[in-house]
């Protein structure tokens, strides 16, 4: 009998497929070849006619799709713990923006991104959507780390470290998309207008027109704080959502981040235009901006995914912790323990987030034909024993440190907690050196 050759065979354990039926398969066999999932079989369908270069025994572990982080600013890992416990506008205008103007450069962006990617791999994230300055360096780090990335070049209406002439924003947007489109199947370019309060209607429309023409995602922070809503109302006589609708930048290719202070009529507007939403509950909690009406968005059919935001406002990149927070904060907000049940929350961090990024035809579930982005979560732990419901443990008991193995695009990038693609010690060393320069007079502890 001729043996079927595989790159990777994963067997045993329990598989959470995140397919349409949310199937769970005990003791599965998953065959991977050329970066794709070739088959998913239960024990009755098993065959001895396979030959794999790498075999992964998942006994005692849960196999699930890699988590998808829909919004972050990876280089801001260099500002983790910097200027904490402040209101958003004070934090941004008096601390973060000045620090970025002084310390952000291509090397800082690359090194910070690389360490952030190590943190994400270690906690089970296989795909992320980043938005920052010098975004080409984030893309380069993603190529080097083996991660899948949507890289979004950022735009504001004032001079930035990577663009001292805001009038050049459209040219930079077009060049960025053309440079990174097609470089790798793992890299998807996108465009990010920071917010309606830092970008004029003209900028918002010009960048959106380029996004439409180039068929790439368009992202923006939206209705994050009460102060933002009031500022936009004072400027334009409309709430941020109505403002963006009026200037025609809302459609299925728009991802709005946060959406904390929106009313039912605005939820209906987002739903009508097919706008996707990135939900970042931990950052919203830490900055005390409020709780987004995610259950209402889901009831209206809006696609919602999870994001961590940057390490300066979270302060971690662990989507397992984000899942637990998302499930619990909405139960508390609604006083309804059935709100945001575990299955809904896991779907939001996997297939839902993949849909937000327009990648659900490739990732987000473990099914034949999809790219092999897979993580193993080790359930052989006291805090994960006993097991009655895998979804429940993933949301309410597990953390990123329980992830043992990560496969991205059919390649093992971490096995038994050892990352194959990044020298983690060196990455930490270089970020400490950057932090030392940021600390300056030594008022920030850097060990």
Indicate the pTM of the whole model.
0.96
Q: Tens of pLDDT along 130-149? A: 999 999 999 999 999 999 99
Cα–Cα distance, 61 to 13 (Å, whole number) = 5
pLDDT at 306: 98
Task: With beta carbons less than 8 A apart as the criterion, state whether 309 and 280 touch.
Answer: yes
| pLDDT band, residue 213 (cuts 50/70/90) | very high
Cα–Cα distance, 131 to 309 (Å, whole number) = 10
Alpha-carbon distance values, 5 to 33, 361, 408 (Å): 8, 25, 19
Q: Tens of pLDDT along 155-175? A: 999 999 999 999 999 999 999
Task: With beta carbons less than 8 A apart as the criterion, state whether 130 and 151 touch.
Answer: yes
Q: Tens of pLDDT along 95-132? A: 888 999 999 999 999 999 999 999 999 999 999 999 99
The two beta strands, 61-65 and 67-72, are: unpaired
Q: Tens of pLDDT along 8-48? A: 999 999 999 999 989 999 999 999 999 999 999 988 777 66
pLDDT at 444: 43
The two beta strands, 276-279 and 254-258, are: parallel
Q: Is 250 exposed, middle or buried (0-12, 13-18, 19+ CB in 10 A)?
A: buried
Q: What is the dihedral of CA 62, 68, 73, 74, to 10 degrees?
A: 40
* Residues counted in the chain: 447
pLDDT at 258: 98
Other C-beta atoms closer than 10 Å to the C-beta of 227 total 14
Handedness of CA 224, 225, 226, 228 (dihedral sign): negative
- Please give the mean pLDDT across all residues of the chain: 95
String of DSSP letters for 333-367: HHT-TTTT-HHHHHHIIIIIHHHHTT-TTTSSS--
Q: Tens of pLDDT along 402-441? A: 999 999 999 999 999 999 999 999 999 999 999 999 987 3
String of DSSP letters for 383-435: GG-S-S-HHHHHHHT--GGGEEEEEETTEEEEETTEESS--HHHHHHHHHHHH
Angle ∠(406,409,415) on CA atoms, nearest 5 = 20
DSSP state of 324: H
Select the more confidently predicted residue: 446 or 190: 190
Cα–Cα distance, 171 to 400 (Å, whole number) = 40
Cα–Cα distance, 62 to 7 (Å, whole number) = 20
Task: With beta carbons less than 8 A apart as the criterion, state whether 56 and 411 touch.
Answer: no
């Amino acid at each position: 009998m001729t043996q079927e050759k595989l790159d990777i065979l994963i067997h045993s354990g329990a598989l959470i497929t995140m397919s349409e039926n949310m199937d769970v398969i005990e003791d599965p066999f998953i065959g991977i070849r050329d970066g794709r999932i070739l088959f998913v079989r239960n024990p009755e369908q098993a065959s001895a006619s396979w030959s794999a270069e790498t075999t992964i025994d998942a006994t005692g572990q849960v196999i699930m799709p890699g988590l998808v982080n829909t919004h972050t600013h990876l280089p801001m890992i260099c500002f983790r713990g910097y200027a904490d416990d402040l209101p958003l506008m004070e934090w941004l205008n008096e601390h973060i923006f000045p620090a970025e103007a002084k310390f952000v450069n291509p090397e800082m962006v690359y090194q910070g991104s690389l360490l952030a990617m190590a943190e994400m791999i270690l906690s089970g994230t296989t795909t992320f959507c980043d938005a920052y300055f010098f975004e080409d360096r984030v893309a380069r780090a993603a190529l080097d780390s083996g991660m899948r990335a949507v890289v979004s070049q950022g735009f504001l209406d004032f001079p930035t470290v990577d663009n001292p002439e805001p009038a050049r924003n459209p040219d930079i947007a077009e060049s960025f998309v053309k440079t990174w489109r097609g470089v790798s199947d793992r890299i998807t370019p996108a465009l990010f207008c920071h917010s309606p309060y830092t970008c004029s209607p003209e900028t918002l429309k010009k960048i959106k027109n380029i996004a439409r023409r180039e068929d790439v995602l368009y992202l923006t922070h939206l209705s994050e704080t009460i102060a933002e809503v009031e500022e936009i109302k004072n400027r334009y006589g409309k709430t941020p959502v109505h403002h963006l609708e009026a200037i025609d930048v809302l459609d299925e290719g728009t991802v709005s981040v946060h959406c904390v202070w929106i009313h039912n009529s605005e939820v209906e507007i987002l739903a009508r235009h097919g706008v996707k939403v990135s939900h970042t509950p931990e950052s919203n909690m830490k900055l005390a901006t409020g709780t987004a009406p995610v259950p209402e968005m889901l009831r209206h059919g809006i696609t919602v995914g999870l994001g961590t935001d940057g390490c300066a406002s979270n302060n971690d990149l662990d989507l397992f912790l984000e899942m637990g927070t998302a499930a619990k904060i909405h139960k508390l907000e609604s006083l309804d323990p059935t709100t945001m049940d575990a299955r809904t929350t896991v779907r939001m961090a996997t297939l839902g987030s993949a849909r937000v990024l327009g990648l659900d035809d490739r990732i987000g579930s473990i099914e034949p034909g999809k790219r092999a982005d897979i993580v193993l979560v080790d359930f052989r732990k006291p805090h994960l024993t006993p097991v009655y419901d895998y979804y429940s443990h993933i949301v309410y008991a597990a953390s990123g440190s329980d992830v043992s193995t990560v496969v991205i695009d059919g390649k093992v990038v971490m096995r038994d907690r050892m990352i194959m693609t990044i020298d983690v010690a060196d990455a930490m060393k270089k970020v400490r050196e950057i932090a030392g320069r940021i600390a300056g007079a030594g008022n920030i502890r850097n060990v």
